[in-house]
Amino acid sequence: MAASIDRTATAWRSAVAPFQHADTRRSAWQLVNSLIPYLAFWILMYWSLSISYWLTLALSVLAAGFMVRLVIIFHDCGHGSFFASQRANDAVGIFTGILTFTAYYDWRHSHAVHHATAGDLDRRGTCDVLTMTVDEYRDAAWWKRLAYRMYRFPPVMLGIGPSFVFLLVQRFPIRVAGKRERNSVLWTDLALLAIVVAAVLTIGWQAYLLIQIPIIVFGGAAGVWLFYIQHQFEGVYWERHEKWDFVAAALRGSSFYKLPKVLQWFNGNIGFHHVHHLSPRIPNYNLEACHNASPLLQAVKPITIRSSLKSLRLRLWDERSRRLVGFSAATKG
């Protein structure tokens, strides 16, 4: 598969070009069918508190699904692909960023770095899942190895980690942020503070936390899992900077996560991540059509839910065998 992709990689521009255009009506409808249900489920969760908190938690799973869709819209706005107008992208991106606890301009900058460095062993560390090489892990101090093991421990990575990032880490700008990015974080934090104050004065802080926290926990776990599996799977591409190649990083370093249609709808087709990394200018609703129209893109082997679970045991990059391996590989000579 890799050789086939390498031979035909020069055709990628013609494969993606017809799909790099936003459709205002489709974008507006996607915003409506994501935002309205999210707000409706939020209200239903408040109503359900007087009946049973188990019902509230059940509703929170659905609310979290629509929160994921809002994140995808936010994500497309950051790439300038959701609307033809950059002003519209920025306005909707800022708004959906507040709803998803993420500063738009700050995230847009760090995510652009991710697209420029995904699969590059020498430029890790910005908006990605931290991945050590086998040699780095062996040479690290014991406390760094322990911290890395905890970081990659699934209950931490998918449970505690996402909530920690959304609620705390994203309240501060990244260290290399410019003025606009820093101001984006400040104004997002102030908007969130206003929302929290309004909620406390109307429904009370207990009700607000009982509603919002499970949405963040479930939505964050789903989002981090999707982000994880997009670049952590058997056969993934990693390369040192001098040999790194953009097309190879997109087609071999980004997964095609083939999911049931209902899950594909909730995640805004982001499972076609190989297509997205090849061309971030493609709106999420065009990703599947682009994939289906190109033999080049269809050559990428899909990952299923069952096969994706195996990726949880892949923790380190082995530069000798050029593959992801488990911690046990670091104990071998």
Per-chain mean pLDDT for the chain: 92
Q: Looking at residue 175, what is its pLDDT?
A: 67
The whole-number average pLDDT for the span 106-125 is: 91
Number of domains comprising the chain: 1
pLDDT at 2 over 70: no
pLDDT at 5 over 80: no
Residue corresponding to tokens 């599947």: 288
Q: Looking at residue 333, what is its pLDDT?
A: 58
- Least confident span in 2-11, 159-168, 264-273: 2-11
Q: Determine the structural domain holding residue 252 and report its residue range.
A: 2-331
Which stretches within the chain are classed as H helix?
2-8, 12-16, 24-48, 53-78, 86-99, 104-117, 134-139, 142-151, 154-155, 161-167, 179-202, 205-231, 246-251, 261-266, 273-278, 287-293, 295-298, 305-309
- Least confident span in 92-106, 111-125, 170-184: 170-184
Q: Looking at residue 331, what is its pLDDT?
A: 81
pLDDT at 45 over 60: yes
Question: pLDDT tens digits for 206-254?
Answer: 999 999 999 999 999 999 999 999 999 999 999 999 999 999 999 999 9
Q: For residue 12, what pLDDT band results from cuts at 50, 70 and 90?
A: confident
